[in-house]
DNA sequence: CGATACTTGCAACTGAGTTGCAAATCGGGT
DNA sequence: ACCCGATTTGCAACTCAGTTGCAAGTATCG
């Protein structure tokens, strides 16, 4: 589940959301699209080359406005970091895998209709987000288990 | 899903886990049991009366050792806070509801067998935790929507 | 182009959680 | 019951993701 995000056009998304089309928003949005997997604000900031430098604070603010506009989606992890992905690229109801060692987050694909049907009714509140996350060791980290010096979180 | 945690005995749990039975660990463990819903380290610290004062740092360290020993279970939220609940009180696979306004977390009950069966196989990694969390407004906060001055996160 | 509302960058701050280290406590062996 | 090494605690200082206030800059609309 790591393909097909490139049909999301930054300018078009901002237009539709009624947000001003600033360079900073376009740069951040492009970084999220380019990543093609959920990434953190810090990763976005570090991945920007000198030409498209954007202040770290701005990255946070842009992500917040993009999330509020429904353009990106935030995903929290066990260690309190927030990851962002394009909202347009998936069904809002899908599961993620988070490696507690290398801290990479991958998408496991959309949840089946039956699963969602089963989860929501049990909730007698006004729900607006459903997040399923599986934590553990990814294949790479598991393979390198014996070579590692430090311990996972 | 807020009952039946009191059968977890602090001393017995520590004994079984092979952890030293210090006052601090017992005090923190009692606070988690007393809460009868997932609570944060800060809440635990504030809920302690003068007689059972434990340093804030110790609360974090105790929770970490209790989690590692499998006595309590940590649950992350969208705003990066960690909630803890007794591991013995539920099936490890259950869903939580988190109110993005009052930040109270409640348990929605265990996930059905079919749901878990559906989620795990899609994951080709070494999974050790499955967390399902539904975020939104709880009934109290929804009811008071019109009265509120500040906005939810 | 010019007015106005929104956005950015900077610096200083917040708040959850961590770390280093000396003092206190636990618990197994005698 | 007491001693000693191993573990745990408290304190203070730190880290680090994320936020805030504010002045300067920029987008958009007429």
Query: Going by DSSP bridges, is the β-strand pair B126-137/B94-99 parallel, antiparallel, or unpaired?
Result: parallel
| Residues of chain B above pLDDT 90, percent | 35
Q: Within a domain: residue A153?
A: no
| Domain range enclosing B84 | 10-147
Give the distance, in angstroms, between residue A113 CA and nucleotide C5 C1': 44
Sheet of A105-110: strands edge to edge? A105-110, A94-99, A126-137, B126-137, B94-99, B105-110
Q: Within a domain: residue A44?
A: yes
Which of A4, A55, A50, A59 has its CA nearest to residue A28?
A59
Q: Within a domain: residue A61?
A: yes
Q: Within a domain: residue B1?
A: no
Which nucleotides in chain D have some atom under 7 angstroms from a protein Cβ? 7-13, 17-21, 26-28
Output the pLDDT for position A149.
47
pLDDT, tens digit, 9 for 90 and up, residues B96-109: 888 877 888 888 77
Q: Within a domain: residue B41?
A: yes
Comparing A40-49, B29-38, B122-131, the range with the smallest average pLDDT is B122-131
Conformation bin of residue A49: beta by default, left when phi > 0, alpha when psi is -120 to 50: beta
Q: Within a domain: residue A69?
A: yes
Q: Which two tokens stand for residue A29?
A: 């949005």
Tell me the average pLDDT across A101-122. 73
User: Residue B92 — pLDDT band, cuts 50, 70, 90?
Assistant: low
In total, how many domains does chain A have? 1
Q: Within a domain: residue A5?
A: no
- B47: CATH: 1.10.10.10
Shortest Cα–Cα distance, A102 to chain B (Å): 13
Give the distance, in angstroms, between residue B41 CA and nucleotide C16 C1': 9
Q: Within a domain: residue B101?
A: yes
């Amino acid at each position: 589940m790591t393909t097909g995000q490139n049909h999301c056009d930054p300018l078009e998304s901002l237009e539709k959301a009624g947000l001003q089309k600033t360079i900073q928003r376009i740069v951040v949005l492009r970084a999220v699209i380019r990543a093609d997997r959920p990434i953190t604000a810090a990763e976005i900031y570090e991945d920007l080359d000198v030409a498209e430098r954007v202040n770290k604070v701005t990255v946070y603010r842009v992500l917040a406005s993009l999330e509020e506009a429904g353009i990106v989606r935030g995903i929290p992890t066990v260690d309190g970091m927030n990851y962002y992905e394009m909202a347009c690229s998936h069904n809002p109801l899908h599961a993620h895998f988070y490696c507690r060692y290398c801290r990479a987050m991958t998408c496991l694909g959309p949840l089946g209709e039956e699963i969602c049907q089963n989860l929501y009714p049990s909730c007698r509140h006004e729900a607006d987000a459903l997040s399923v996350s599986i934590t553990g060791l990814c294949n790479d980290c598991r393979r390198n288990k014996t070579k590692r010096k430090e311990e996972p979180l």
